[in-house]
């Protein structure tokens, strides 16, 4: 069985990536609004409209370049990107330290929910294979891409590095004095992530956790692993 072409991969990954990033950011805005901060709502960021969350570089250009480079170089595909961060004014939150952690966790939580929904989409695709193959196969491929993207995004964002969501959670849990010192590391967060990626350490941290969560989904893990291998070949 031949792998997908670059254009086919882009078509398969485009919608799952768009949903993953959009819903992730909307979840941050929704939870902040529920906890007392209306900043994101007033700016129109509590929405599933992707154009409100897309960053031209992080959401489109970087993932597209990574797909093309992986195909041209014959290397495993690793997608990385970002959206425009949802603004949160912690002064408006009822319990700022606790609520900032809850707002941060809302994004990864939304990604886990979407991974489950994409797993159900794969099950539906399998059921339709014998009757509506032209719908079933794209649905299965997009379901696999959706699971992969959402679980990677969830696990990556839960890493305790600012400005990632896990860093926000850790900052909320630390004693106030340590939290101030820890917050000073935020300007170096992206550099740390890039260095971890380039050295291969990031993959060694992420993939075991991604595999763990795959095992919790309502779809045979072996089938899912084989589909992922085919999609990334």
Inform me whether the pLDDT recorded for 138 exceeds 50: yes
| Largest separation between any pair of C-alpha atoms in the chain | 62
Q: Quote the CA–CA distance of 15 and 146 in Å, as a whole number.
A: 8
pLDDT for residue 110:
97
Mean pLDDT of 24-47: 93
Residue 201 CA, distance from chain mean position: 19
Residue 4 CA, distance from chain mean position: 22
pLDDT for residue 1:
43
pLDDT for residue 154:
96
Q: How does the average pLDDT of the chain come out, rounded?
A: 87
Inform me whether the pLDDT recorded for 71 exceeds 90: no
Inform me whether the pLDDT recorded for 69 exceeds 70: no
pLDDT for residue 162:
94
Helix residue ranges per DSSP H, the chain: 6-34, 39-42, 62-73, 96-128, 133-157, 165-173, 176-183, 189-199, 201-214, 221-232
The closest of 164, 162, 191, 157 to 179, measured between CA atoms, is: 162
| Dihedral, CA of residue 182, residue 187, residue 191 and residue 194, to nearest 10 | 80
Mean pLDDT of 11-40: 91
pLDDT for residue 170:
96
Inform me whether the pLDDT recorded for 10 exceeds 90: no
Better pLDDT: 69 or 26: 26
Is there a contact between 110 and 27 (Cβ–Cβ < 8 Å)? yes
Quick check: pTM over 0.75? yes
Q: Quote the CA–CA distance of 60 and 114 in Å, as a whole number.
A: 20
pLDDT for residue 7:
81
Tens of pLDDT, residues 189-201: 989 988 988 888 9
Domain ranges of the chain: 6-232
């Amino acid at each position: 069985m031949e792998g997908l072409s670059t254009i086919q991969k882009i078509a398969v990954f485009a919608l799952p990536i768009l949903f993953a990033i959009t819903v992730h950011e909307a979840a941050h805005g929704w939870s902040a609004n529920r906890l007392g901060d209306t900043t994101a709502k007033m700016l129109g960021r509590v929405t599933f409209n992707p154009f409100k969350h897309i960053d031209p570089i992080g959401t489109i250009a970087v993932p597209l370049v990574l797909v093309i480079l992986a195909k041209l170089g014959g290397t495993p595909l690793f997608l990385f990107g970002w959206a425009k961060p949802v603004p949160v004014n912690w002064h408006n939150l009822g319990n700022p330290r606790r609520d900032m952690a809850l707002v941060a966790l809302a994004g990864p939580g939304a990604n886990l929910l979407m991974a489950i929904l994409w797993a159900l989409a794969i099950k539906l695709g399998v059921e339709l294979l014998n009757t509506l193959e032209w719908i079933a196969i794209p649905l299965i491929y997009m379901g696999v891409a959706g699971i992969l993207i959402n679980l990677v995004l969830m696990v990556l964002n839960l890493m305790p590095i600012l400005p990632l969501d896990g860093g926000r959670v850790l900052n909320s849990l630390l004693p106030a004095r340590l939290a101030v010192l820890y917050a000073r590391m935020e300007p170096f967060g992206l550099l740390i992530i890039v260095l971890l990626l380039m050295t291969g350490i990031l993959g060694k941290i992420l993939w075991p956790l991604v595999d763990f969560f795959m095992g919790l989904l309502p779809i045979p893990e072996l089938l899912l692993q084989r589909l992922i291998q085919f999609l990334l070949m």
